[in-house]
Amino acid sequence: MARIMRIAAIRELIGNGALKEASEACRRRIDRNDDPEARYLLAVVTGQMGLYSESVALFKKAISEFPERSDVAYNYGIVLQNMGKLDDAIAQWSRAVAMNPWHADAQFNLGRAYSDKKMWSEALAPCESAASLRPENKLALLNLGSVNFRLGRMPQAKYCFGLAAKIDPAFVQGWINLGLSDIRAGDPGAAIAALERAVALDPASVLAHFNLGQALLHAGRLREGLAEVEWRRRVHTLPFAASGRPPWQGGDIAGKTVLVYGEQGQGDVVHFLRYAESAAARGARVVVCCHAGLVGIARRARGVADAVAFGETPPTFDTYAPLMSLPHLLGLDAFADAPAGPYVIPPEPAELAGGEDAVRVGLVWAGNPEHDDDANRSMSLTDWRPLLDVAGVAFYSLQVGAAVAEVASQGLAAKVTDLGSGFKDFVDTAAAIQALDLVIAVDTAVPHLAGALGKPVWVLLARVADWRWGRDGAATPWYPTMRLFRQQHARDWPPVVEEVAGALAELVAGGR
């Protein structure tokens, strides 16, 4: 008769990864004694072996037999997570920490799970608990720092990342995240130091080099920054088939067809379309591959011979490069070298209802909610009520996406005429802009488009805005017709809106 193994010995087998032997030992105990502890351990083992149906059935039995054991709930959560059932895993880990707040692994996993779902407020408490229970654990500190970063709590984020790097001075991700929090805190000098440390520790890290490039750009060191962000080209996926054609790394392009492609947001595409004219001036035939909604705009950009949407087969080309690499590849590495707007040929103005005797102003108050920094750049239309109260103005919404509904849901249809819900692409947006006197927007693609068309545009910026807007001042070399309005304190929009409202009132009083 096979020997009945002690529970402690079975746990040792599981700890050593001897899952087959542990499974057999558990089954013998269950067959002999209907042992609940062995049944629970078999649930753990079958989960680790990928036998999920059996594992779930066993865990359900174990929960009924051990309803107050946090380890049962915790391990059931692990299996559910591995099955892709993150919400169910969260429910089990929440049970585990409710029963045992000192269960560090459950707190850690619960915080990570909420972070994976971008539920940053919910992630904060378990991440704080995990870091408190394991103050020397660099990963717990990294998680807590990341949640604080997402919540805009930069001092707390910097503290966590700095402590993680202090605990393990060779922790590359800790230095990278510390650099990112320094950028967001408005200290590019400190960010450069942290990210140079990350690069020194791992000279092959694309992430370290790319973020060092971002820090250099924020510091206004354009030449060095553009060179560092080129590291991204080592890992990003092409939106077309290269078919053996070489990437353009700089040099003579006279007589060649260069396929340039968008790789980030739509605003980035519009911003960097200006460099197509510079490439064409060197004898290249420039073809653009970009978002479908921007193809019509790309075809109107000076220097562009043709444009295709992502997913379409581009015309024959000789070489290719990211659109955002053009200034680096062309050697135009100073802000003063940037071809200024207008560089997009405007369509015929749209016909707008009303506003004949008023200043016509287009509004965009929110960007793509999937954007990594959207929490710092987007607002609600209700935040703009002081602006909407300015007399002598006819307001038109250029907003697209879910935020379009705010005009009606917030009872502002009488003050704001919705145009954006009828737009098919950015050519429609451009036609509307051409019929307006002014565009007022947060940092999205629309102000780039207005600037590219040469129309007056005011942009509301976060305290630490994207590198391209510089660190201070109301003017930008990118767009002569653009005026910048900046936050003085992070996520504090009311003073900015009041400033814009005052400027708009002055514009109306001055007769446009």
413-418-419 Cα angle (round to 5): 165
Tokens standing for 130? 């995990």
pLDDT-above-90 percentage for the chain: 91
Half-sphere exposure for 467 (CA within 13 Å, toward CB): 21
Mean pLDDT of 323-340: 83
Q: Determine the pLDDT at residue 335.
A: 67
What H or E segment, with its residue span, contains residue 363? Answer: strand 359-364
Identify each DSSP E strand in 207-358 by its residue range: 257-261, 285-290, 304-309, 319-322
Cα–Cα distance, 293 to 426 (Å, whole number):
6
Q: Determine the pLDDT at residue 248.
A: 96
Amino acid of residue 470? G
Judge if 135-235 and 359-509 fold alike in CATH terms: no
Residue keyed to tokens 């955002």? 324
Residues in CB range of 58: below 8 A, 6 or more apart: 39, 40, 42, 43, 46
Tokens standing for 410? 């917030």
Cα–Cα distance, 497 to 386 (Å, whole number):
7
Residue 1 pLDDT greater than 70, yes or no: no
Residue 176 pLDDT greater than 90, yes or no: yes
Give me the numbers of helices (H) and strands (E) for the chain, helices first please.
Answer: 24, 10
pLDDT band at 334 (very low <50, low <70, confident <90, very high): low
Strand partners, 306: 287
Tokens standing for 54? 């059996």
CATH number of this structure's domain 359-509: 3.40.50.2000
Q: Determine the pLDDT at residue 333.
A: 72
Cα–Cα distance, 361 to 506 (Å, whole number):
14
Mean pLDDT of 106-124: 97
- The helix-helix angle for 138-150 and 154-167 (nearest 10°) equals 160
pTM for the structure as a whole: 0.89
Half-sphere exposure for 105 (CA within 13 Å, toward CB): 10
What H or E segment, with its residue span, contains residue 460? Answer: strand 457-461
Q: Determine the pLDDT at residue 368.
A: 86
CATH class for the domain made up of 257-337: alpha beta
Residue 340 pLDDT greater than 80, yes or no: no
Please state the domain extents for the chain.
Answer: 135-235, 257-337, 359-509
Task: Label residue 84 exposed, middle or buried (CB < 10 Å: 0-12, 13-18, 19+).
Answer: exposed
Mean pLDDT of 254-263: 97
pLDDT band at 313 (very low <50, low <70, confident <90, very high): very high
Tokens standing for 191? 């960010």
Q: Determine the pLDDT at residue 481.
A: 96
3-state secondary structure of 258: strand
DSSP 51: -
Cα–Cα distance, 83 to 256 (Å, whole number):
51
Cα–Cα distance, 293 to 304 (Å, whole number):
16
Cα–Cα distance, 38 to 32 (Å, whole number):
11
Instruction: Mark out the alpha helices in 117-265 (DSSP H runs).
Output: 120-133, 138-150, 154-167, 172-184, 188-201, 206-218, 222-229
Cα–Cα distance, 136 to 145 (Å, whole number):
14
Tabulate helix, strand, coil % of the chain (nearest 5).
55, 10, 35
Residue 277 pLDDT greater than 90, yes or no: yes
Residue 308 pLDDT greater than 70, yes or no: yes
Kindly list the strands in the beta sheet with 285-290, ordered across the sheet, starting from the edge strand earlier in the chain: 304-309, 285-290, 257-261, 319-322
Q: Determine the pLDDT at residue 475.
A: 94
Cα–Cα distance, 59 to 42 (Å, whole number):
9
Residue 172 pLDDT greater than 90, yes or no: yes
Backbone angles phi, psi at 359, to 5 degrees: -80, 125
3-state secondary structure of 381: helix
Q: Determine the pLDDT at residue 460.
A: 98
Residue 336 pLDDT greater than 80, yes or no: no
pLDDT-above-70 percentage for the chain: 99
Cα–Cα distance, 289 to 367 (Å, whole number):
22
Interval 430-481: pLDDT, tens: 999 999 999 999 999 999 999 999 999 999 999 999 999 999 999 998 999 9
Fold that domain 135-235 belongs to in CATH: 1.25.40
CB 147 within 8 A of CB 124: yes
Q: Determine the pLDDT at residue 374.
A: 83
Interval 119-136: pLDDT, tens: 999 999 999 999 999 999
Say if strands 416-418 and 257-261 run parallel, antiparallel, or are unpaired: unpaired
Mean pLDDT of 262-287: 95
Mean pLDDT of 379-398: 96
pLDDT band at 279 (very low <50, low <70, confident <90, very high): very high
Report the chain's mean pLDDT, rounded to a whole number: 95
pLDDT band at 291 (very low <50, low <70, confident <90, very high): very high
**Could you count the other beta carbons within 10 Å of the beta carbon of residue 189?**
10
CB 353 within 8 A of CB 419: no
Interval 27-41: pLDDT, tens: 999 999 899 999 999
Cα–Cα distance, 175 to 138 (Å, whole number):
12
